Amino acid sequence: MRSLTRRLNQFTAKLLDLPQDVVMDLPRMTMIGNMQLYIENHRGVLHFSSDLLKLALSKGRLEVYGSELVIRAILSEEVFIEGVIQDIKYIP
């Protein structure tokens, strides 16, 4: 049933020319150099320190490694971090 729903969502997104991240509830990340990272469609902060950020996603989690990390803004589905970003891991 899930695969049928997923296929229907993908078909609808293509038919209506909608972005896949909106229809499939996928994270969207915008990175500026290695200094800023903006993440949309997260489900909450699991862990935060100056060298690690863990975010819950609808399907998995996202880990951001770096140094001097700071959360500049956080909303219900968006987070903006700054610092020296060294690595980003998506864990399904």
Q: 35-54: per-residue pLDDT in tens?
A: 999 999 899 999 999 999 99
Which residue in 46, 20, 26, 30 sits closest to 80, CA to CA? 30
- pTM of this structure: 0.76
Q: What letters, b where the CB count within 10 A reaches 16 and e where it falls short, cover 3-41?
A: eeeeeebeeebeeeeeeeeebeeebebeeeeeeebbbbb
Quote the mean pLDDT of the chain: 86
Counting beta carbons within 10 angstroms of the beta carbon of residue 81, is it exposed (0 to 12), middle (13 to 18) or buried (19 or more)?
A: buried
